[in-house]
């Protein structure tokens, strides 16, 4: 990772208390960035920030009443923002189920978290990025956005929608210096993966810390481009490290 790139960068990570989000937060903190993480569970926020310079914000991205508080408190802490990682996500009811067996309220909750919440939060942070004519929004996607895996219905449609949202944001704002990416991290050994596929073999999954390292490396290497990039599978963006 290019450590210098991240020095003093102002960064918000949703879902920063577990899995990929936590690994990103810790690596960015180590690299000298100013990091704010957002999640709902206070204990996990405290554990993640202990012994670091990371700022914790309790908030639910699916709750519209939390959005302006999150962006307002972030402005108070960071002043502005350079990177927004829209990483928090809801898988839907576990065990996963066919669409026919899925509660409408559950689809609603998936879309509120993964799509509408992400849209609201992005919208709340964009004015600050537009004022400085720069900023990067990374939407964490999934191969489920393109593969119609049975039983992954709500989650899959939310990620497909986020990918297209990313392309449209790009068309509308890239000339004003805002960069939008949707990146699929690949299968990782995290609580979300465990909820989806409890009998997966951990050694066959990527460690979130490895994915975070490669993701930050990719972002710093491509920092000067404003092309929209929706990339599936780590082979499409990871430039170092892990195979599989």
Ligand X SMILES: NC(=O)c1ccc[n+]([C@@H]2O[C@H](COP(=O)([O-])OP(=O)(O)OC[C@H]3O[C@@H](n4cnc5c(N)ncnc54)[C@H](OP(=O)(O)O)[C@@H]3O)[C@@H](O)[C@H]2O)c1
Q: Which is nearer to ligand X, 113 or 217 (CB)?
A: 113
Smallest separation (angstroms) from ligand X to the CB of 10: 19
Q: Which is nearer to ligand X, 31 or 67 (CB)?
A: 67
Q: Which is nearer to ligand X, 168 or 197 (CB)?
A: 197
Q: What angle in degrees, to the nearest 10, is found between the helix axes of 19-30 and 208-221? A: 60
Footprint of ligand X on 54-73 (CB under 6 A): 60-62
38 sits near ligand X (criterion: CB under 6 A): yes
142 sits near ligand X (criterion: CB under 6 A): yes
How many residues lie near ligand X (CB under 6 A)? 32
Is the omega angle on the peptide bond into residue 95 within 30 degrees of 0, that is, cis? yes
- Which of 185, 213, 215, 219: binder of ligand X (CB under 6 A)? 185
Measured at the CA of 204, the angle between CA 202 and CA 207, to 5 degrees, comes to: 65
Burial degree of 72 (CB within 10 A; 0-12, 13-18, 19+): exposed
d(CA 65, CA 68) in angstroms, rounded, equals 7
x/- track of binding to ligand X for residues 196-235 (CB under 6 A): ------------x---------------------------
In this chain, which stretch among 8-16, 24-32, 145-153, 172-180 interacts with ligand X, using CB under 6 A? 8-16
- Token pair of 93 as six digits: 């009811």
- Which of 1, 17, 71, 165: binder of ligand X (CB under 6 A)? 17
| 14 Cβ neighbours under 8 A, 6+ residues apart | 21, 37, 38, 39, 61, 85, 86, 87, 88, 118, 121
DSSP string, 162-191: HHHHHHHHHHHHGGGTEEEEEE----B-SH
Smallest separation (angstroms) from ligand X to the CB of 117: 6
Footprint of ligand X on 102-131 (CB under 6 A): 113
Residue sitting closest to ligand X (CB): 19
Is there a contact between 171 and 230 (Cβ–Cβ < 8 Å)?
no
DSSP string, 23-68: HHHHHHHHTT-EEEEEES-HHHHHHHHTTS-PEEEE--TT-HHHHH
- Which of 187, 216, 229, 232: binder of ligand X (CB under 6 A)? 187
19 sits near ligand X (criterion: CB under 6 A): yes
Positions that interact with ligand X (CB under 6 A): 14-21, 38-41, 44, 60-62, 87-90, 113, 140, 142, 184-185, 187-188, 190-193, 208
């Amino acid at each position: 990772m290019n450590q210098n790139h991240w020095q003093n960068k102002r960064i918000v990570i949703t879902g920063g208390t577990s899995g990929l989000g936590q690994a990103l937060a810790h690596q960015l903190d180590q690299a000298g960035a100013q990091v704010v993480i957002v999640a709902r569970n206070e204990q996990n926020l405290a554990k993640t920030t202990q012994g670091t310079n990371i700022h914790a914000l309790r908030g639910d991205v699916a709750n519209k009443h939390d959005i302006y508080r999150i962006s307002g408190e972030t402005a108070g802490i960071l002043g502005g923002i350079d990177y927004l990682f829209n990483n928090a996500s809801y898988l839907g009811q576990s065990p996963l189920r066919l669409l026919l067996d899925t509660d409408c309220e559950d689809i609603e909750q998936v879309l509120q978290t993964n799509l509408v919440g992400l849209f609201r939060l992005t919208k709340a942070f964009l004015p600050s990025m537009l004022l400085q004519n720069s900023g990067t929004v990374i939407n964490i996607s999934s191969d489920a956005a393109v593969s119609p895996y049975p039983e992954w219905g709500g989650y899959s449609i939310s990620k497909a929608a986020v990918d297209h949202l990313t392309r449209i944001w790009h068309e509308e704002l890239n000339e004003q210096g805002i960069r939008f990416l949707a990146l699929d991290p690949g299968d990782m050994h995290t609580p979300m993966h465990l909820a989806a596929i409890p009998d997966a073999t951990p050694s066959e999954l990527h460690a979130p810390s490895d994915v975070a390292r490669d993701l930050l490396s990719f972002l710093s290497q491509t920092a000067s481009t404003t092309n929209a990039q929706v990339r599936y599978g780590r082979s499409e963006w990871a430039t170092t490290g892990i195979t599989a």
